A = this chain, B = another copy of it.
Amino acid sequence: MSRIELLDSCLRDGAQAEGISFSINDKLAIVEVLDNLGIPLVEAGNPGSNPKDLEFFREAAKLSLKSARLCAFGSTRRKGVEAKDDPNLASMLTAGTDTVVIFGKSWDFHVTEVIRTTLEENLAMIADTVAYFRSKGKRVIYDAEHFYDGFKANRDYALKTLAAAADAGADCLALCDTNGGSMLPFIMEATAAAKKAAGAVAIGMHAHNDSGLAVANSLEAVNLGALHVQGTFIGFGERCGNANLSTIIPNLQLKMGHDCIPAEALIELTASARAIAEIANMALPDELPYVGRKAFAHKAGMHVDGVLKHTTSFEHIPPHSVGNERRVLLSEVAGRSSILEKIKKIDPTIERDSPVVADVLTSLKELEQEGYQFEGAEGSFDLLVRKALGKYKPLFKLERFRIIGERPAQDEGSQAMIKIVVDGQTELTAAEGDGPVNALDRALRKALERFYPSLKQMRLTDFKVRVLDGSDATAAKVRVLIESTDGKDIWTTVGVSTDIIEASWKALVDSVEYKLIREIGSKFGIFA
């Protein structure tokens, strides 16, 4: 049971992921999320590498952080140059961090073939650089790049690079599986050898997921005595990504009994993962262990019965311990008990044999027959239940909409005109968009915002189309799933029709109504 130090590299290695591009404000927001969670080290870039990084460090210094400390990151000194004369090292100091992370070469092949110097000079580059930052009073983490590939190629030399850093005063030696290709038994052998070579200096792990083993390799390094683990909070990084800290943290803390973030912060895990995904403008993978939307979703009837009888029966941890929630999915195989569980969230007084349960089941079956699927469309299911319970009132009436698309396109390609009525007041408006659904979405919200200003916070984050029966091709039924957020909650709604416009319309209306009914339901006397 040890204290394991975590280093998050979202802002540095994570920024290497395809499709990731952070503004300074994005970076600051991520630092705050990680700090709130109690992650001790946050690796950022080198302020000398570009002006944006310099500005980031300046702005970050103004944050009042509880626990997180920023680390500047850079390579060992250049070959043939004294450390004090290397402008990259000097620029790292301008970041003003207590801790610096220095990466150097541990694979002889990289020394001779990529940076093209002698093995001896590389050892000197490591030692000089570490000693330089120690002389400036910095805590130094030495990242042994390609340590595992290096150990495979020339184990003596790989271990010598560690010794060079340790002898020069490094506080921690992070062993990197840079290409992510190492198998676990080899990781264990090399890590044990490194631990021995490091002596009293702490060792750490920096794993990549190219073989699907980044989490396992990190945990087994801890089992061998590593006290420091590097990764990115939701796993993004180059190629297949870095070791995912949102998986590693609960494994270390709940399963292995180690201590890495404050116990009370663990329930922030899921919300933190969603927040970072939002900031990075990427979809959080639904299947992600612990924090994914599906991580505690149960579909099969048998399993649902099992879970409801005894939650440990099909759940490895209580979902709320990481701030996630159990989701009982509604599907053809779902029975009365899973429906009841959902209904009780809206009205806890409803009992198993209440007629409303049978009504909801009947509606569900009819709608599933039409092609609806409510698993993963809780927003629409919530509205369905409210309708059955009499806790629903339409929030607007559609008079008419018309969408037009043409090629060659004028302006944005599609236009939508819409006319709605709210409380006897008519609103007629129009919008353009990329395609008819986008135009219709914009027109609907534009028309409603006058009556319901909170819709301004709402936006659509995902849109899925499933053709239900391909054999009728373009006349087949389509099911549209829309995911929306208002920054706090995420909800999904569904619509089905042979016309994609109509299916999208149904899902859009549900999405808006789901938000508004929970928010202002009481005003309309919808809640009992």
Contact = CB atoms under 8 A, between A and B. Distances in A.
A40 interface: no
A23 interface: yes
Interface stretch (A198-206, A208-216, A350-358): A208-216
Contacts of A184: 184, 216, 219-220
Given A376-B18, A406-B401, A435 B498 contact: yes
B18 A499 contact: no
B299 A18 contact: yes
Q: How many copies does the complex hold?
A: 2
B400 A403 contact: no
Secondary structure of the A side of the interface? mixed
A265 interface: no
B501 A473 contact: no
Interface stretch (A3-11, A79-87, A460-468): A460-468
Nearest to A214: B212
Interface size class of A (residues with CB under 8 A): 35 or more
A131 to B, nearest CB: 24
Contacts of A185: 223
Contact of A465 (B282, B405, B467): B467
A68 interface: no
Interface string A245-289: 001100100011000000000000000000000000111011111
Contact of A402 (B209, B309, B405): B405
Contacts of A285: 285
Given A181-B316, A239-B295, A500-B435, A405 B408 contact: no
Contact of A292 (B240, B402, B469): B240
Residue of A210, A461, A484, A502 with highest tally of chain B CB at under 10 A: A210
A450 interface: no
A495 to B, nearest CB: 12
Contact of A460 (B19, B109, B281, B474): B474
Contacts of A238: 297-300, 303
A183 B178 CA distance: 24
A244 B212 contact: yes
A462 B470 contact: yes
Interface stretch (A120-128, A160-168, A337-345, A436-444): A436-444
Interface in A391-435: 398, 400-409, 413-414, 433-435
A375 B18 CA distance: 7
A284 to B, nearest CB: 11
B223 A405 contact: no
A59 B219 CA distance: 46
B216 A313 contact: no
A135 B216 CA distance: 42
A498 B412 CA distance: 10
Interface in A131-180: 178-180
Interface stretch (A89-97, A475-483, A520-528): A475-483
A113 interface: yes
A466 B438 CA distance: 16
Nearest to A252: B183
A239 B297 contact: yes
B474 A467 contact: no
A19 B286 CA distance: 11
A196 to B, nearest CB: 20
A414 B474 contact: no
Interface in A307-322: 309-310, 313-317
A181 B317 contact: yes
A264 to B, nearest CB: 22
Interface string A212-250: 110111011001000000000001101111001001100
18 contacts: A23-B469, A180-B289, A211-B251, A235-B287, A238-B298, A239-B296, A240-B292, A403-B404, A403-B406, A407-B502, A407-B505, A435-B497, A437-B500, A440-B474, A461-B473, A464-B467, A465-B466, A500-B500
Nearest first, the 6 A-B pairs at minimum CB distance are A181-B316, A216-B216, A460-B473, A435-B499, A462-B470, A465-B465
